[in-house]
Amino acid sequence: MTKTYDVRPGQSVELLKELHILTRDGKMNQDSRRKLKQVYHLFQFIEPLLKESLQEHGEVSLVDHGAGKSYLGFILYDLFFKDSAPQGHIWGIETRDELVASSRALATHLGFTGMSFLNESVADSINSSELPERIDIVTALHACNTATDDAIHFALKKSARHIVVVPCCQAEVASVLRKNKGHALGKSALTELWRHPLHTREFGSQITNVLRCLQLEAHGYQVSVTELVGWEHSMKNELIVASYKDLPRKRPAERLAEVLDSIGLQEMSDRFFTSAA
Protein backbone atom coordinates (compact mmCIF):
# COMPACT_ATOMS: atom_id res chain seq x y z
CA MET A 1 0.00 0.00 0.00
CA THR A 2 1.03 3.59 -0.62
CA LYS A 3 0.01 6.69 1.25
CA THR A 4 -1.90 9.75 0.11
CA TYR A 5 1.23 11.65 -0.92
CA ASP A 6 0.30 10.57 -4.48
CA VAL A 7 -2.73 12.87 -4.29
CA ARG A 8 -2.49 16.39 -5.74
CA PRO A 9 -2.86 19.38 -3.40
CA GLY A 10 -6.48 20.49 -3.28
CA GLN A 11 -7.78 17.10 -4.33
CA SER A 12 -10.72 15.86 -2.26
CA VAL A 13 -9.72 12.71 -0.40
CA GLU A 14 -13.43 11.97 0.08
CA LEU A 15 -13.92 11.96 -3.70
CA LEU A 16 -11.05 9.55 -4.23
CA LYS A 17 -12.52 7.25 -1.61
CA GLU A 18 -15.94 7.39 -3.30
CA LEU A 19 -14.26 6.55 -6.61
CA HIS A 20 -12.53 3.63 -4.83
CA ILE A 21 -9.12 5.02 -5.75
CA LEU A 22 -8.35 5.39 -2.06
CA THR A 23 -9.34 2.91 0.59
CA ARG A 24 -11.30 4.11 3.62
CA ASP A 25 -8.05 4.51 5.55
CA GLY A 26 -6.55 6.72 2.83
CA LYS A 27 -4.30 4.22 1.08
CA MET A 28 -4.17 2.92 -2.48
CA ASN A 29 -2.99 -0.22 -4.19
CA GLN A 30 -0.78 -0.32 -7.28
CA ASP A 31 -3.71 -0.46 -9.72
CA SER A 32 -5.38 2.58 -8.18
CA ARG A 33 -2.10 4.44 -8.09
CA ARG A 34 -1.63 3.83 -11.81
CA LYS A 35 -5.20 4.92 -12.54
CA LEU A 36 -4.77 8.17 -10.63
CA LYS A 37 -1.43 8.80 -12.34
CA GLN A 38 -3.13 8.46 -15.72
CA VAL A 39 -5.91 10.90 -14.89
CA TYR A 40 -3.44 13.43 -13.47
CA HIS A 41 -1.34 13.10 -16.61
CA LEU A 42 -4.39 13.91 -18.71
CA PHE A 43 -5.24 16.79 -16.40
CA GLN A 44 -1.90 18.38 -17.29
CA PHE A 45 -3.03 18.53 -20.93
CA ILE A 46 -6.59 19.64 -20.24
CA GLU A 47 -6.03 22.25 -17.52
CA PRO A 48 -4.44 24.85 -19.88
CA LEU A 49 -7.40 24.42 -22.26
CA LEU A 50 -9.84 24.98 -19.39
CA LYS A 51 -7.98 28.12 -18.35
CA GLU A 52 -7.95 29.45 -21.90
CA SER A 53 -11.69 28.88 -22.35
CA LEU A 54 -12.42 30.46 -18.97
CA GLN A 55 -10.34 33.50 -19.83
CA GLU A 56 -12.14 33.92 -23.16
CA HIS A 57 -15.69 34.18 -21.86
CA GLY A 58 -15.76 33.73 -18.10
CA GLU A 59 -17.06 30.17 -17.98
CA VAL A 60 -16.26 26.80 -19.45
CA SER A 61 -18.22 23.76 -20.60
CA LEU A 62 -16.87 20.27 -21.16
CA VAL A 63 -18.43 17.08 -22.50
CA ASP A 64 -16.77 13.75 -21.74
CA HIS A 65 -17.84 10.99 -24.13
CA GLY A 66 -17.76 7.36 -23.08
CA ALA A 67 -17.39 8.62 -19.53
CA GLY A 68 -17.58 5.22 -17.82
CA LYS A 69 -17.34 5.80 -14.07
CA SER A 70 -16.42 9.44 -14.80
CA TYR A 71 -13.07 9.40 -13.04
CA LEU A 72 -11.83 12.14 -15.37
CA GLY A 73 -14.96 14.29 -15.05
CA PHE A 74 -15.07 14.13 -11.25
CA ILE A 75 -11.37 14.90 -10.85
CA LEU A 76 -11.55 17.78 -13.35
CA TYR A 77 -14.51 19.20 -11.47
CA ASP A 78 -12.80 18.79 -8.09
CA LEU A 79 -9.43 20.25 -9.14
CA PHE A 80 -10.64 23.02 -11.45
CA PHE A 81 -14.36 23.69 -11.83
CA LYS A 82 -15.26 23.69 -8.14
CA ASP A 83 -13.13 26.73 -7.32
CA SER A 84 -11.96 28.28 -10.61
CA ALA A 85 -15.12 27.88 -12.73
CA PRO A 86 -18.13 27.48 -10.41
CA GLN A 87 -20.46 28.58 -13.24
CA GLY A 88 -18.97 26.01 -15.60
CA HIS A 89 -20.44 22.62 -16.37
CA ILE A 90 -19.32 19.07 -17.17
CA TRP A 91 -21.54 16.56 -18.98
CA GLY A 92 -20.66 12.87 -18.90
CA ILE A 93 -22.07 10.81 -21.80
CA GLU A 94 -22.37 7.08 -21.11
CA THR A 95 -24.59 4.25 -22.40
CA ARG A 96 -24.49 1.99 -19.33
CA ASP A 97 -27.47 2.76 -17.11
CA GLU A 98 -25.85 1.70 -13.86
CA LEU A 99 -22.81 3.92 -14.38
CA VAL A 100 -24.94 6.94 -15.22
CA ALA A 101 -27.05 6.35 -12.11
CA SER A 102 -24.04 5.94 -9.82
CA SER A 103 -22.36 9.06 -11.23
CA ARG A 104 -25.51 11.11 -10.71
CA ALA A 105 -25.76 9.88 -7.13
CA LEU A 106 -22.12 10.66 -6.41
CA ALA A 107 -22.37 14.18 -7.88
CA THR A 108 -25.40 14.84 -5.68
CA HIS A 109 -23.65 13.40 -2.61
CA LEU A 110 -20.59 15.60 -3.14
CA GLY A 111 -22.58 18.72 -4.03
CA PHE A 112 -21.04 18.91 -7.51
CA THR A 113 -23.97 20.82 -8.96
CA GLY A 114 -22.17 21.63 -12.19
CA MET A 115 -22.08 18.00 -13.32
CA SER A 116 -24.72 16.19 -15.40
CA PHE A 117 -24.79 12.68 -16.83
CA LEU A 118 -26.72 11.56 -19.91
CA ASN A 119 -27.59 7.98 -20.76
CA GLU A 120 -26.93 8.22 -24.49
CA SER A 121 -24.57 7.03 -27.17
CA VAL A 122 -22.01 9.45 -28.52
CA ALA A 123 -23.83 9.54 -31.86
CA ASP A 124 -27.24 10.25 -30.28
CA SER A 125 -25.84 13.00 -28.08
CA ILE A 126 -24.98 15.07 -31.17
CA ASN A 127 -28.64 16.08 -31.45
CA SER A 128 -29.58 15.88 -27.76
CA SER A 129 -31.78 18.73 -26.54
CA GLU A 130 -30.19 18.36 -23.09
CA LEU A 131 -26.88 19.78 -24.29
CA PRO A 132 -26.14 23.40 -25.26
CA GLU A 133 -25.48 24.51 -28.83
CA ARG A 134 -21.82 25.26 -28.11
CA ILE A 135 -19.31 23.33 -26.00
CA ASP A 136 -15.82 24.56 -25.16
CA ILE A 137 -13.99 21.26 -24.69
CA VAL A 138 -14.82 17.74 -25.84
CA THR A 139 -13.00 14.69 -24.50
CA ALA A 140 -13.26 11.03 -25.51
CA LEU A 141 -10.88 8.64 -23.80
CA HIS A 142 -10.81 5.11 -25.18
CA ALA A 143 -14.17 5.55 -26.91
CA CYS A 144 -14.13 2.37 -28.97
CA ASN A 145 -13.91 2.22 -32.76
CA THR A 146 -16.31 4.70 -34.44
CA ALA A 147 -17.31 6.33 -31.12
CA THR A 148 -14.14 8.43 -31.37
CA ASP A 149 -15.25 9.66 -34.80
CA ASP A 150 -18.73 10.35 -33.42
CA ALA A 151 -17.09 12.40 -30.66
CA ILE A 152 -15.17 14.38 -33.28
CA HIS A 153 -18.40 14.94 -35.24
CA PHE A 154 -20.04 16.08 -32.00
CA ALA A 155 -17.19 18.52 -31.36
CA LEU A 156 -17.40 19.93 -34.88
CA LYS A 157 -21.19 20.30 -34.61
CA LYS A 158 -20.79 22.08 -31.27
CA SER A 159 -17.98 24.34 -32.56
CA ALA A 160 -15.73 23.07 -29.79
CA ARG A 161 -12.70 25.20 -29.06
CA HIS A 162 -10.66 22.19 -27.97
CA ILE A 163 -10.84 18.44 -28.60
CA VAL A 164 -8.94 15.80 -26.60
CA VAL A 165 -9.23 12.17 -27.71
CA VAL A 166 -7.46 8.90 -26.94
CA PRO A 167 -8.67 6.57 -29.72
CA CYS A 168 -9.26 2.87 -29.10
CA CYS A 169 -10.20 -0.37 -30.88
CA GLN A 170 -10.15 1.02 -34.39
CA ALA A 171 -11.51 -1.79 -36.53
CA GLU A 172 -13.70 -0.08 -39.14
CA VAL A 173 -10.94 1.18 -41.47
CA ALA A 174 -9.10 -2.14 -41.21
CA SER A 175 -12.26 -3.97 -42.26
CA VAL A 176 -12.58 -1.80 -45.37
CA LEU A 177 -8.90 -2.28 -46.19
CA ARG A 178 -9.39 -6.02 -45.80
CA LYS A 179 -12.47 -6.03 -48.01
CA ASN A 180 -10.76 -4.12 -50.83
CA LYS A 181 -7.36 -5.79 -50.49
CA GLY A 182 -7.71 -8.08 -53.50
CA HIS A 183 -8.55 -5.21 -55.82
CA ALA A 184 -5.84 -2.95 -54.38
CA LEU A 185 -2.96 -5.44 -54.53
CA GLY A 186 -2.34 -4.89 -58.21
CA LYS A 187 -2.55 -1.10 -58.10
CA SER A 188 0.40 -0.08 -55.93
CA ALA A 189 3.36 -1.56 -54.10
CA LEU A 190 2.23 0.45 -51.07
CA THR A 191 -0.50 -2.14 -50.59
CA GLU A 192 2.25 -4.29 -49.05
CA LEU A 193 1.87 -2.08 -45.97
CA TRP A 194 -1.37 -3.89 -45.14
CA ARG A 195 -1.23 -7.14 -47.14
CA HIS A 196 -0.74 -9.42 -44.13
CA PRO A 197 -3.67 -9.65 -41.67
CA LEU A 198 -1.67 -8.41 -38.68
CA HIS A 199 -0.41 -5.46 -40.71
CA THR A 200 -3.95 -4.76 -41.91
CA ARG A 201 -5.07 -4.35 -38.31
CA GLU A 202 -2.10 -2.23 -37.23
CA PHE A 203 -2.00 -0.12 -40.38
CA GLY A 204 -5.76 0.36 -40.17
CA SER A 205 -5.40 1.72 -36.65
CA GLN A 206 -2.54 4.02 -37.63
CA ILE A 207 -4.19 5.40 -40.75
CA THR A 208 -7.46 5.98 -38.87
CA ASN A 209 -5.73 8.47 -36.59
CA VAL A 210 -3.90 10.08 -39.52
CA LEU A 211 -7.27 10.61 -41.21
CA ARG A 212 -8.76 12.06 -38.01
CA CYS A 213 -5.91 14.55 -37.73
CA LEU A 214 -6.31 15.62 -41.36
CA GLN A 215 -10.07 15.94 -40.86
CA LEU A 216 -9.59 18.24 -37.87
CA GLU A 217 -7.02 20.31 -39.76
CA ALA A 218 -9.47 20.56 -42.65
CA HIS A 219 -11.88 22.21 -40.20
CA GLY A 220 -9.35 24.83 -39.12
CA TYR A 221 -7.90 23.10 -36.05
CA GLN A 222 -4.27 23.01 -34.97
CA VAL A 223 -3.49 19.39 -34.10
CA SER A 224 -0.81 17.82 -31.94
CA VAL A 225 -0.26 14.11 -31.38
CA THR A 226 1.65 12.72 -28.44
CA GLU A 227 2.03 9.59 -26.35
CA LEU A 228 0.40 9.29 -22.96
CA VAL A 229 3.21 8.53 -20.57
CA GLY A 230 2.16 6.20 -17.77
CA TRP A 231 -0.33 4.17 -19.82
CA GLU A 232 2.06 1.25 -20.08
CA HIS A 233 -0.73 -1.29 -19.54
CA SER A 234 -2.42 -0.23 -22.78
CA MET A 235 -1.18 -0.17 -26.37
CA LYS A 236 -3.78 2.49 -27.10
CA ASN A 237 -1.89 5.45 -25.69
CA GLU A 238 -2.02 7.97 -28.52
CA LEU A 239 -3.34 11.36 -27.48
CA ILE A 240 -4.74 13.75 -30.09
CA VAL A 241 -5.27 17.35 -28.98
CA ALA A 242 -6.90 19.81 -31.37
CA SER A 243 -7.48 23.53 -30.82
CA TYR A 244 -9.51 25.69 -33.18
CA LYS A 245 -7.30 28.37 -34.75
CA ASP A 246 -9.22 29.04 -37.98
CA LEU A 247 -6.25 27.74 -39.98
CA PRO A 248 -6.31 27.30 -43.78
CA ARG A 249 -8.43 24.29 -44.67
CA LYS A 250 -7.80 23.62 -48.36
CA ARG A 251 -4.48 21.78 -48.17
CA PRO A 252 -5.40 19.28 -45.42
CA ALA A 253 -8.77 18.65 -47.11
CA GLU A 254 -6.97 17.83 -50.35
CA ARG A 255 -4.48 15.60 -48.58
CA LEU A 256 -7.28 13.75 -46.78
CA ALA A 257 -9.06 13.07 -50.08
CA GLU A 258 -5.80 11.95 -51.65
CA VAL A 259 -5.02 9.52 -48.84
CA LEU A 260 -8.53 8.03 -48.97
CA ASP A 261 -8.22 7.60 -52.73
CA SER A 262 -4.67 6.22 -52.62
CA ILE A 263 -5.44 3.35 -50.25
CA GLY A 264 -8.92 2.48 -51.47
CA LEU A 265 -10.98 4.10 -48.72
CA GLN A 266 -13.11 6.37 -50.88
CA GLU A 267 -16.27 4.84 -49.42
CA MET A 268 -15.30 6.28 -46.03
CA SER A 269 -15.38 9.91 -47.18
CA ASP A 270 -18.59 10.56 -45.23
CA ARG A 271 -17.02 9.46 -41.95
CA PHE A 272 -14.03 11.74 -42.41
CA PHE A 273 -16.04 14.60 -43.88
CA THR A 274 -14.33 17.96 -44.36
CA SER A 275 -17.25 20.27 -45.13
CA ALA A 276 -19.56 21.78 -42.53
CA ALA A 277 -22.40 19.39 -41.68
pLDDT winner (highest mean) among 33-42, 98-107, 186-195: 98-107
User: How confident is the model at residue 38, as a pLDDT?
Assistant: 86
Helix, strand and coil percent figures for the chain, each rounded to 5? 50, 15, 35
Does this model's pTM top 0.85? yes
CB–CB of 154/137 below 8 Å?
A: no
Residue 2 has pLDDT above 50, yes or no: no
Mean pLDDT of the chain: 90
- What's the rounded Cα separation, in Å, for the pair 72 and 92? 10
> Which one-letter DSSP state was computed for residue 119?
E
- What's the rounded Cα separation, in Å, for the pair 81 and 25? 27
Domains annotated for the chain, with CATH where assigned, are 36-168 (3.40.50.150), 170-220+242-277 (no CATH)
Burial tier of 5 (Cβ tally within 10 Å: 0-12, 13-18, 19+):
exposed
- What's the rounded Cα separation, in Å, for the pair 158 and 249? 18
- What's the rounded Cα separation, in Å, for the pair 23 and 188? 57
